[in-house]
Amino acid sequence: MSDTRGPRAAAAIFDATLELLAERGYDGLTIEAVARTAGVNKTTIYRWWPSKPALVRATVLHARALDISVPDTGSLRGDLVALVEQIIGLLTGPHAEPVVRALAGGSGQPELAELTRELFAERFAREQPVFERARARGELPATDPQLLVDLVAGAVWVRVLLRRQQPPDSFAAEVVDAVLHQREVPRA
């Protein structure tokens, strides 16, 4: 992508890939349709990405529509609430939600399963500063940070993707508080 059209063409290709992935799912996505929708030659796509899995991988990892920023609110609770709110926005948003559903629905395909693992590993690696700052402040419970992310993000995925319910505005804070505050359960 060295010429001046490169970044614009890549953005158009990523947008077209997301649009078609949402409309057709992974199985219905073709390089030819992406090229047509993006207004580029399919040779341009093949020059940068040799296959459909490579294109989808690049799109999912680099498209701005699926991006989440790492917050720095000054507290572990605040950072986790901000992350959960972004995940809710992503999973319920009109642009990313159908793409996430398409990717989740194709989990039986090895290339999508690998892409999902890679995406979650990349996102977790980017979220590490949240936990490093929390450790430095003495706020991180004696828990694996990945478990914390799995618990708070998992609650959103279950509510939105499996139950198909819109979380209430208070959901992010409630989930984070439930995970961070260990309460003793009375025994019967």
pLDDT at 49: 94
Could you tell me the CATH number of the domain that includes residue 52?
1.10.10.60
Q: Are residues 88 and 102 in the same domain?
A: yes
Torsions phi, psi of 83, nearest 5? -65, -45
Q: Say if 187 falls within a structural domain.
A: no
Whether 96 shows a pLDDT value over 80: the answer reads no
Whether 99 shows a pLDDT value over 60: the answer reads yes
Residue that terminates a domain, selected from 25, 45, 62: 62
Amino acid letter for position 151: L
How many CB atoms lie under 10 A from the CB of residue 138?
A: 7
- Segments forming the whole domain that contains residue 38: 6-62
How many CB atoms lie under 10 A from the CB of residue 52?
A: 17
pLDDT at 108: 64
Whether 4 shows a pLDDT value over 60: the answer reads no
Least confident of 30-34, 99-103, 156-160: 99-103
d(CA 152, CA 13): 32
pLDDT at 184: 42
Average pLDDT for residues 21-27, to the nearest whole number?
83
Residue that terminates a domain, selected from 62, 91, 107: 62
Q: Which among 68, 47, 52 is positioned nearest to 106, based on CA atoms? A: 52
Q: pLDDT tens, 156-187?
A: 989 988 898 999 999 999 999 999 885 444 44
